[in-house]
Structure 1
Amino acid sequence: MENTVLGSGAGPVSAEGGAHADAGRLFRGSCVALVATSMAFAVVTAIMLDLKSEFGLSNFEVGLIAGAATWGFAVSQLVFAPLCDPLGMRFLVRLAFLCHLVGAAFLLTGLNFWTLFAGALVLALANGLVEAACNPLVAALYPDQKTVRLNQFHVWFPGGIVIGGLLSYGLGEVGLTEWRLKVALLFIPTLVYGAMILRRTFPPTEGVRQGVSMGEMFRATLTTPLMLLLLVCMAVTASTELGPGRWVTPVLEAGGLPGILVLVWINGIMAVLRYKAGFAVKRLSPPGVLAASSAVAFVGLFWLSYAESLATALMSATVFAIGVCYFWPTMLGYVSEHVPKSGALGLGLMGAVGMAVVGLVTTPEMGRIADRVGHDQLPVAETAALLADAADQLPAAATAPTGAVAAEAGSGGQDQDAAAASDAARAALASYEETGELPVMVTAAALRSIQAASPASELAGRAGAVLGPADNYGGRVSFRYLLPFTGALIVVFGLLYVRTRAAPGVAPS
């Protein structure tokens, strides 16, 4: 996403050429809507470890949930960005408001993987609708200040992650550890932006005002070689920025570090640097900024993959944040400058491709890698002994009508969880006794089931003690799998920069 602070300012122009009466309110409401969007990103990231523990999900399954919260954004933006002109921006904002409410409600009432997946997906649709509607809204409100105002609008993506991350961390620090409270935070900015702008009069889009042909936009977007190259690059820049962004919190928390604070730190740096993006762009040009950013991101991501202490995590995260902070806005700016006829469709497709690849490929694949690599870090003898103890102890807990488990649960739900954990432990143990090796995926799933059955029990503590370090190591290794792709960006953007320097008056094509 992009750059800078609220601000009111004068000079917004309506379709008729005069100042739009509600410009300031619409702009501020759009900023709050983007806060809701980025808080949704932060909250889903913050609860990933909780979902694994409570529902016994694998890293891959949690990656699918986090991925849905990303690729749904792409689907929403891809579908609705071209329809912004005929449907109107207010219609899209109203639909975003509804989806924010419904998505948060689905997560709050989630009972299993599929309801959690659905909630994350609906939230992502809301987020994409905000982008699809509010980008052209800001441009229409301030046609003579587009760059400045879009920068001021887009700083609230990392800014909202900072807000959501700090609130989530604060709830835990005061003893409010229920993850559903973090989800409930989403209702605050959603209701605020709904009250601010849903009933206001919106201006027409610039496309409607200028009579831009849809056919021209499609031709420029789908037939320009530079545009096609930048779409591929966008998939990699987005993966480098948002893939680790999704996983840094649960990965570091699995190692006993405050991962949400590291996420807040990353996004705080991004917000500040995006505010000053013009400084870098004027001195290096967009391809120069992208080449330098790729090199810095490569170093930061490599360093972050070895972070085992809070100090190392913060230092490496600082380098990583400096590297990725300019990726998204500079990619969009480069398209806007060098493929201008692609218009809103080109910008929407760039965002859609980036989010789709992150959601459908990068995030779940990083989870799959973490599962595979982390499995090899499980201490075999200790894990087998834990599975045997769980198989012996949990059936009694599952069938006991009274006692500690029943008192703790207050219902039969905990009994069912204990029975499921017992079955999972027996299955993993049987495979181990037959082959002499802990079964991949099955073992981690059994350990998470043990944690979910009775989080405060001694068995759950032992499960966390063996599973946490494995998840932390596997997650950090998954970061390294992105490095070859990030390295390729250095070459591609470096060549574009050299070409631009050699022929400064000629745009690449």
Structure 2
Amino acid sequence: MLNIQNTKLFWASCLALLVTSLSFGIRAGIMNQLGIDFQLSTSQLGTITAAAFWGFPLAIVVGGFVVDMIGMKRLLVMAFIFHLAGIVLTIFAQGYWSLFLSTLLIGIANGTVEAACNPLVAALYPENKTTRLNHFHLWFPGGIVIGTLLVTLFVQLGLGWKVQVAMMIIPTLIYGYLFSKLDFPVTERVSSGYSSSDMYKAVLSPLFIFMFICMFGTAITELFTGQWIGLLLKNVTDNAILLLTLTTGIMVIGRGFAEPVVHRLAPQGVLLLSAIFAAAGLYMLSTFTGNSIFFAAIIFGIGVCYFWPTMIGFVAENVPKSGALGLNLMGGAGMFAVSIYTMFMGNFYDNLIVKHLPAGASLSVYLKAPENSASAQALANAKNLAGPEILQATLIIPIILIVAFGGLVIYLRSRKKSRSVAL
């Protein structure tokens, strides 16, 4: 009976994460259209996108502090309410501020889902945490695949972005209903008997702080590139949004088959190989052209595939006393870093575009230029040059991660040998 209950809770969690990822996939697909419809600059689009990454760390960190007290079920009811409100407000958006607020609400909902579901999955499967977290998190790229395919299909059918956003209401209502009917366990920290003092000491340990900082880089490499790939490479390929679909498709497959990979390499080995592939893929995306760019997307997808769930799984296995707070601080660190980086790169992207426009040009004038005009063509050419430059600037992050995770592998091997000698 308990296994059936655990299975139902796991699949309801996956459905909640599906809504989270649909919000990323659909928004990535409609960003360009939102810019056109509301006459928004790239900087404004960057700020709107960043709102989701602000709401997420706010919710996941607050959730990490209160989940042991109020329970995971109450958090998920709150996530349902925020998701529903954010989706409806997006559909009826009138401009920049309503889009900003709706995205912020969806970000808060997304963070609340992870604040409850990461510790829930760890509590349901205490003997196999990293693998099961990978299985849970495959629904994030899975939802992005579904979302981007829906965007592509609806565009072909002539259906607007409001219909695309409205599609998220269906899985939201389903997961809200399922969670209302199920009973939840206590978090793993509570069931293990670790005190709050143990938890706070654990999140201040050197190993946790190291992983916390590395989470900045893994999240930016995966999520910033994923959210912006259609925008940055739109003028390099006619199928830019399919690059995101291909990348996330690779991530779904990889996370689905995570068990043998994690058991063979250990989480730290997986992270090191991931950083190597991510750096190679990002370099290829910024330099390849034509059909070869799809090969680059595959390499990049392999690279970022295991980042997020394996970072959380590593902490769950190696710093268990950090409990739900530790897992949620990791997620909050990742999303906060992406929000700051997205805002910074939005301004940087606008500046790069201006640099590639005729001298003395005003970006706002070019954004309002009629389609097929000389000004519109000049703007397209400027974006064509600026997009890959953003990816090349981001490449330094996975290169730093290669060094960091290489050091982590060496450290853990030496620690294991020292313990063996002591025994």
Q: Normalising by the residue count of structure 1, what TM-score does the alignment of the two structures yield? A: 0.78
Q: 1:366 aligns with which of 317, 334, 345?
A: 345
Q: Distance in 1 between matches of 2:8 and 2:313?
A: 26
- Corresponding residue of 1:243: 224
Question: Alignment partner for residue 132 of structure 1, among 115, 125, 130?
Answer: 115
Q: Specify which of 316, 328, 333 is matched with residue 336 of structure 1.
A: 316
Aligned partners of 2:415, 2:130: CA distance in 1, in Å? Answer: 25
- Please say if 1:87 is aligned against 2:67: no
Which residue matches 2:392?
Answer: 480
Distance in 2 between residues matched to 1:280 and 1:182, nearest whole Å:
36
Q: Which letter does structure 1 place at the counterpart of 2:360?
A: L
CA–CA distance in structure 2, aligned partners of residues 180 and 91 of structure 1: 30
- The 5 Å alignment of 1:54-453 reads 54-143=37-126, 146-176=129-159, 178-222=160-204, 224-255=205-236, 257-309=238-290, 311-359=291-339, 361-378=340-357, 380=358, 437-439=359-361, 443-450=362-369
Of 320-329 and 333-342, more deviation after overlay is shown by 333-342
For the aligned residues, what is the CA RMSD?
Answer: 2.0
For residues 296-349 of structure 1, give each alpha carbon's deviation from its aligned partner in whole angstroms, at most 9, with x where no partner exists. Answer: 21111011012432x122111111111111211222222223222212111111
CA contact (8 A) 1:375 1:444 kept: yes
Provide closer, same or farther for how the CA distance between residues 230 and 344 of structure 1 changes in structure 2, counting only shifts above 3 A: same
Q: Residues 22 and 332 from structure 1, CA distance in 2 versus in 1: closer, same or farther, beyond 3 angstroms? A: closer
Between 349-358 and 254-263, report the one with greater CA deviation. Answer: 254-263
- For the structure 1 residues 210 and 227, does the alpha-carbon distance in structure 2 shift closer, same or farther, using more than 3 Å as the test? closer
- Asked if the contact 1:71–1:357 (Cα under 8 Å) also holds between the matched residues in 2, the reply is no
Q: Which amino acid aligns with 1:27?
A: F
Q: Distance in 1 between matches of 2:336 and 2:366?
A: 31
**Alpha-carbon distance in structure 2 between the residues aligned to 1:447 and 1:494:** 46
**Which deviations, in whole Å up to 9, do the C-alpha atoms of 1:450-488 show, x marking residues without a partner?**
4xxxxxxxx233254322232232122111112222211
Does residue 461 (structure 1) correspond to residue 369 (structure 2)? The answer is: no
- Equivalents in 2 of 1:231, 1:209: separation in Å? 25
**Consecutive unaligned residues in structure 1, runs of 5 or more:** 1-17, 381-436, 451-458
Question: Does structure 1 residue 496 correspond to structure 2 residue 408?
Answer: yes
Equivalent pair of 1:216/1:341 in contact (CA under 8 Å): yes
In the comparison of the two structures, how many residue pairs are matched? 418
More helix by share: 2
Name the SS for the 2:194 alignment partner: coil
Distance 2:249 2:155 in 1: 20
Counterpart Cα distance in 2 of 1:506 and 1:183: 54
How far apart are the structure 2 equivalents of 1:182 and 1:329? Answer: 28
SS in 2 for 1:478: helix
Q: Offset at 1:503?
A: 4.2
In structure 2, C-alpha distance between the alignment counterparts of 1:469 and 1:217, rounded to whole Å: 53
Which structure has the greater CA radius of gyration? 1
8 Å CA contact 1:110, 1:116 repeated in 2 = yes
Change (3 A) 1:24 1:210: same
Distance 1:292 1:27, change over 3 A: closer
Give the Å deviation of 1:27: 2.4
The separation in 2 between residues aligned to 1:503 and 1:220, in whole angstroms, is 18
Mean CA deviation greater in 134-143 or 311-320 = 134-143
Give, in angstroms, the shift of residue 129 of structure 1: 0.8
With normalisation by structure 2, the TM-score equals 0.93
What is the CA-CA distance between 1:505 and the residue it aligns to? 4.1
